[in-house]
């Protein structure tokens, strides 16, 4: 059995060292070492035996660790630690070691057994990871890394700032579970999975949920990472917060499509809405109607009370039309004192009811300087295969009928009567 144990110790892949327990002078000396320890240190067995383990230490070896080691040896406690040691050729290696006292039959410590492992690769990998994390944390771009199952394993400071979540609340979560805002259709995420599954990068603008409950826009690029064997290990996402840019674009878009005075759609946006309605009518048979409304005697209001009074009247009319129409369609300032309502409903009776309601609501309004004013309205419902231009002419003709009949009334084009 003794021979078996000796062979097992000598052939162990772990580096083993046995010293005596003499704590005087330089301390214990090496009485046994196996082949693994010789290979790790670069010394032959004969060069180690009878020497102090201190021969493996050097200027960069942490004195605090050595002091802790000596205290454990002197008190007979086990020791576990990590230190930087030196090989015979002067190169360094990181050592993880465990030292246990060996007691004789009287309980007296006679030897110390040290089991040692070279963990240089692990320490260097950790140092590289910390260096990479430090570099990523200095980047203005937000970085998120997940494992192959999409669990978050790393975020940099920029990502914490962008999302509002500290790393401690993100790690272990999946991006979809904590950042998904609900603004995207399921097909958006389907495209993401297909692209990554095909080994392609996925680039898109994401609308994510901030920790405060709000939404932010992030331009993101997501790529799969594979090891040297081609096995998928991680996904990395590089993101940039573009919320401010999107807000500016939305403001510019709003300004380009809205009438500055009333806030209604301007004529250009109204023409685009008409075009969409015509396409829907031709492709899907979705009917729509137009209401052209005109403020009665508006020139007289401007002439008698001034243009500022006229502007107030237009704003009042715009508010009535906007509130009255609601989600039934779009309201457009068509030009001057003329407004266009694009109503998306197949029921002509509903369109006529809407026109009458807003006429009555405007008649009930009053401006402090102008007093009461009224509205005339012309209604036309699209006919099969009718072009927008023809429909507009019929609605305008109906408006003329309302004006000719005395104003402050609703008229329906004769082709829809």
Residue 199 CA to residue 150 CA, distance in Å, equals 15
121: buried, middle or exposed (CB in 10 Å: 19+, 13-18, 0-12)?
exposed
Classify domain 139-246 by CATH number.
Answer: 3.30.450.20
Question: How do beta strands 375-381 and 410-412 pair?
Answer: parallel
- CATH superfamily for 2-118 is PAS domain (3.30.450.20)
Q: Please give the pLDDT value at position 126.
A: 86
Residue 59 CA to residue 139 CA, distance in Å, equals 35
- Residue intervals of the chain classified under CATH 3.30.450.20 are 2-118, 139-246
Percent with pLDDT over 70 in the chain: 97
Paired with 346 in beta bridges are none
| Average pLDDT for 64-89 | 93
159: Cα within 13 Å, side-chain hemisphere: 25
Is the pTM here over 0.85, yes or no? no
Residue 333 CA to residue 309 CA, distance in Å, equals 17
Which ranges in 25-78 belong to alpha helices (H)? Answer: 35-41, 45-48, 63-75
pLDDT in tens, 210-238: 999 999 999 999 999 998 888 999 999 99
The 10 Å CB-count burial string (b at 16+, else e) for 373-395 is: bbbbbbbbbbeeebebeebbebb
- Residue intervals of the chain classified under CATH 3.30.70.270 are 258-416
pLDDT in tens, 129-158: 887 777 778 788 999 999 999 999 999 999
Residue 334 CA to residue 267 CA, distance in Å, equals 5
Query: Does position 9 have pLDDT exceeding 70, yes or no?
Result: no
Residue 207 CA to residue 379 CA, distance in Å, equals 41
CA angle 73, 76, 82 (to 5 degrees): 45
Paired with 15 in beta bridges are 116
Classify domain 258-416 by CATH number.
Answer: 3.30.70.270
């Amino acid at each position: 059995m003794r021979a078996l144990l000796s062979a097992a110790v000598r052939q162990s892949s772990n580096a083993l060292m046995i010293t005596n327990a003499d704590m005087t002078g330089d301390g214990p000396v090496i009485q046994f070492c196996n082949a693994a320890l010789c290979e790790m240190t670069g010394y032959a067995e004969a060069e180690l035996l009878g020497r102090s383990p201190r021969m493996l230490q050097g200027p960069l070896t942490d004195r605090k660790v050595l002091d802790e080691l000596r205290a454990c040896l002197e008190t007979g406690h086990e020791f576990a630690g990590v230190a930087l040691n030196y090989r015979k050729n002067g190169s360094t290696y990181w050592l993880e070691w465990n030292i246990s006292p060996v007691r004789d039959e009287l309980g007296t410590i006679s030897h110390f057994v040290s089991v040692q492992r070279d963990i240089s690769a692990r320490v260097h990998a950790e140092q590289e990871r910390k260096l990479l994390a430090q570099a990523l944390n200095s980047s203005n771009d937000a970085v998120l890394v997940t494992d192959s199952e999409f669990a978050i394993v790393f975020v940099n400071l920029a990502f914490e700032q962008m999302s509002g979540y500290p790393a401690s609340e993100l790690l272990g979560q999946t991006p979809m579970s904590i950042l998904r805002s609900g603004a995207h259709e399921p097909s958006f995420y389907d495209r993401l999975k297909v692209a990554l599954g095909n080994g392609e990068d996925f680039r898109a603008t994401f609308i994510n949920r901030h920790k405060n409950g709000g939404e932010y826009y992030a331009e993101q690029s997501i790529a799969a990472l594979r090891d040297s064997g081609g096995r998928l290990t991680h996904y990395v996402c590089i993101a940039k917060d573009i919320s401010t840019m999107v807000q500016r674009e939305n403001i510019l878009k709003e300004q380009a499509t809205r009438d500055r005075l009333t806030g209604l759609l301007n004529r250009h946006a109204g023409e685009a809405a008409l075009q969409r309605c015509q396409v829907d009518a031709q492709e899907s048979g979705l009917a729509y109607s137009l209401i052209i409304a005109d403020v009665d005697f508006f020139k007289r209001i401007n002439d008698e009370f001034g243009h500022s009074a006229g502007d107030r009247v237009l704003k009042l009319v715009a508010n009535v039309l906007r509130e009255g129409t609601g989600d039934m369609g779009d309201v457009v300032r068509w030009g001057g004192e003329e407004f266009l309502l694009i109503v998306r409903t197949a029921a002509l009776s509903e369109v006529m009811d809407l026109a009458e309601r807003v006429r009555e609501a405007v008649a009930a309004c009053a401006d402090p300087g102008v007093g009461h004013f009224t509205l005339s309205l012309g209604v036309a419902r699209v006919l099969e295969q009718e072009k927008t231009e023809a429909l507009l002419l019929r609605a305008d003709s109906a408006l003329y009928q309302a004006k000719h009949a005395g104003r402050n009334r609703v008229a329906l084009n004769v082709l829809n009567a």
